[in-house]
Structure 1
Amino acid sequence: MGSIKLTYKIGDIEINRLGYGTMQLTGKGVFGEVEDRENAKKVLQAAVAAGVNFIDTAEAYGPKLNESLLSEALYPYKDGALIATKGGFNRPGPDLWVPNGTPEHIKENIESSLKRLKVNTIDLWQLHRIDPNVNVEETLAPVVEAVKDGKIRYVGLSEVTIEQIKQVQKILPIVSVQNMYNLGDRQWEDVVDFTAEQGLAFIPWFPLASGPAKLEGKIKAIAEKHNATTAQIALAWLLKRSENILLIPGTKFIAHLQENLLAGSITLSDEEFETLSNQ
């Protein structure tokens, strides 16, 4: 049985499918400054040193503080790195997320992300949420403009249905979709398959959840067989699920980061994959 392909092309940028998500490098409730800033910078630098070239952040993490931390740790960015960010939320306090898709807010998000990330072009800008109170064409008008002006290279969406993806595709081309998806939460199966058919990347957020208690024994048995952790098996399952899946597990610990990256060396058999898929 062949091993899993561990790279994927977003436009003309070939990236490792095992990336890194920075959400945990913030204060409690994804709000405020990360507790240990020096450690956070070291984790980011260790990720890049280990070959990670796809890093996902957002204006809403902190808010704003996470993007600045990322550029402080990694700028100038390594050749071939793809730094992805997101916009479209207000953050009034810890654990509070309020969609704001007004054109003014989106334009401000893009302009300030460019400054904080210290770039002239954002590699991948993702709409963090579609605001139900604003027409999506209005929300995306500044994004279309920014693409035209060379301020955004590629565009992605987050937490969207197939219908919403199709709606946005009439307005501008997209390259990726970021929805919650993991071994235990598979409500977006149809979106995974749709993005694969469309040649779009699918970026599951919260990829490490290993699922319901009834799966526990199965995962444990497979993990033991591969001399792996349950988290590594959860990631290996995602890598095998579809070739367009890009992983962005986050952590505050270098040891945990290295453990996550080792998931790429685990190839589940078809039988193991089926065992975990059938809940």
Structure 2
Amino acid sequence: MAVKTYALVTGGSRGIGRAICIALASELKYPVLINYQSNLAAAEETRDIIIAGGGEAELLRFDVSDQAETHAQLADWKDRHPESLIEVIVNNAGITRDGLFLWMEHDDWSNVIHTSLNGFYHVTKPLMQDLLRHRYGRIINIVSVSGVKGTPGQTNYSAAKAGLIGATKALAQEVAKRNVTVNAVAPGFIETDMTNKLDEKELKKLIPLNRFGKAEEVADLVCFLASKKAAYITGEVININGGIYS
């Protein structure tokens, strides 16, 4: 019996995560596991869009920053799908708690680190053995221009994403012999809920392409890295930022 392979997207209910879920289902025909933490309505909407387009999707609720909860939900899914495998992992979940470092509260530091960086560990580690046994897999970590160059007012977020970049490069070397690739995608300013409070008119002046990116453009890049066409790319950080930093 052939193994049914899935793609898991953390923080998949809205924004870039939603666009990635839809693209993986429509372009690569993966049944998609949409991870979300609290916004059930948004997660259901993402699932319904995929199903309406002829794809498959299911919801998987857990907080990536909570190791016990994450492991329990992934183990439960595996128990219910014994002949299936999560072949593509997109670590997209992240939060911001912006503020100058001088006045940054401990919770604002630790919560951002726990979600972006520890979340990668909590999700990826329990799935890794299956990928190595399967001798094929794609791990794609959504980082940020903040993790590449640092952004003032985002010392916590920059640290979390820079840590994820380091993890990407190291893990890629550990698992490459088993045909598992690990890459990072570093978006700049993308039109999402996370950026809708920013002064787009002023920030566009910093961007050579003179516009914010679209979530679908990030999703297209993720789809390429998740495909067999990207088989010889691993350990890379690919910027998608309109030329703001390279």
Scaled by the length of structure 2, the TM-score of the pair is 0.38
Scaled by the length of structure 1, the TM-score of the pair is 0.35
Rg larger for: 1
